[in-house]
Amino acid sequence: MSESFVLVETRGRVGLLTLNRPKALNALNDQLMDELGAALLAFESNADIGCVVITGSEKAFAAGADIGAMKDWSYMDVYNSEYITRNWETLKRIKKPVIAAVAGYALGGGCELAMMCDIIIAADTAKFGQPEIKLGVIPGAGGTQRLPRAVGKAKAMDLALTARMMGAEEAERAGLVSRVVAADKLMEEALDAATVIASMSLPSVMMAKECVNRAFEGSLNEGLLFERRVFHSLFATEDQKEGMAAFTEKRKPDFKHR
């Protein structure tokens, strides 16, 4: 059997996926992305998991798509390949929240992978960038669309056109990452955040995620209507009754659906 490029662990109700192709700085080839997709789907259907964390190594979250694998492709090779659609889209389909815990390089497809996650928590060593322009291409897994939505047009253009890297502090200021912590505290911070999320009622967690994503995908009016309907629907759940009863009774909620 070939070496596994994604290590799969669980920590309580948190699923932990570690990208493990250190010799290539976690360059994202088909095998790695297929393993990642399969592991995500397994956590998605596992009732004992409420949140997922994806991380890499100290040196690299992921340094991009695998350049060696792509370098000789023709236009029709890349058009016909499922390189972007087959396994990269899996992350978008996952309803449970996914946190990217990023240390070191998150470049090209690595930055795009982090941006497909719901929350990015960065070590102070993290470096984000879309350097594809140096290879004579452009970002191909959402970078030109998600980056401007996260950091605004000016910074997204700067990164995509000059290929410069952005450090963790700048990324936090710009709104790409939610928290920056010392590198040796990264996993603790990410797993703690994931544990908090996994302790909540899963229906409301998944629906909150779906609603926030709507803010990026449609118009404000559509998003507001969608949010209102989802808010209404949560009143059909036992967890809403329990959560509000627990608050008024000044006790901790005992959610049924986690």
Which sequence positions are flagged as catalytic? 65, 109, 112, 132
DSSP per position, 24-75: GTT-B-HHHHHHHHHHHHHHHT-TT--EEEEE--SSEEE--B-HHHHTT--H
Among 8, 38, 135, 224, contact with ligand HXC (rule: CB under 6 A): 135
Place of tokens 């297929």: 34
| Least distance (Å) between residue 138 CB and ligand HXC | 8
Q: Give the Cα separation of 239 and 195 in Å (integer).
A: 18
- The verdict on 63 binding ligand HXC (CB under 6 A) reads yes
State how far the alpha carbon of 23 is from the alpha carbons of 5, 62, 132, 139, in Å. 11, 11, 20, 23
β strands within the chain, DSSP E? 6-11, 14-19, 51-55, 60-62, 98-102, 105-107, 119-123, 127-129, 166-167, 179-181
DSSP letter for 96, please: S
In angstroms, give the least distance from the CB of 56 to ligand HXC. 12
Q: Euclidean distance between the first and final Cα of the chain, in Å? A: 35
Per CB under 6 A, 50 contacts ligand HXC: no
Q: Which of 249, 170, 227, 146 is nearest to 241 (CA)?
A: 249
Residues 78 to 117: which contact ligand HXC by CB under 6 A?
A: 83-84, 105, 107-109
Whichever of 83 and 128 has its CB closer to ligand HXC, that residue is: 83
Instruction: Give min distance, CB of 184 to ligand HXC, in A.
Output: 20
24 sits near ligand HXC (criterion: CB under 6 A): yes
Is 177 one of the binding residues for ligand HXC (CB under 6 A)?
Answer: no
CB-wise, 28 or 197, nearer to ligand HXC? Answer: 28
- Only one of the segments 65-73, 199-207, 226-234, 249-257 lies at the binding site for ligand HXC (rule: CB under 6 A); that segment is 65-73
* Contacting range for ligand HXC; rule: CB under 6 A; set: 62-70, 180-188, 192-200, 218-226: 62-70
We find the least distance from the C-beta atom of residue 67 to ligand HXC, in angstroms, to be: 4
The residue within the footprint of ligand HXC, chosen from 43, 54, 66, 255 (CB under 6 A), is 66
Helix (H) or strand (E) holding 85: helix 85-88
For residue 49, CA distances in Å to 26, 96, 204, 238 come to: 25, 9, 15, 19
Residue number, nearest CB to ligand HXC:
108
The contact set with ligand HXC (CB under 6 A) reads: 24-25, 27, 63-68, 83-84, 105, 107-109, 131-132, 135, 139-141
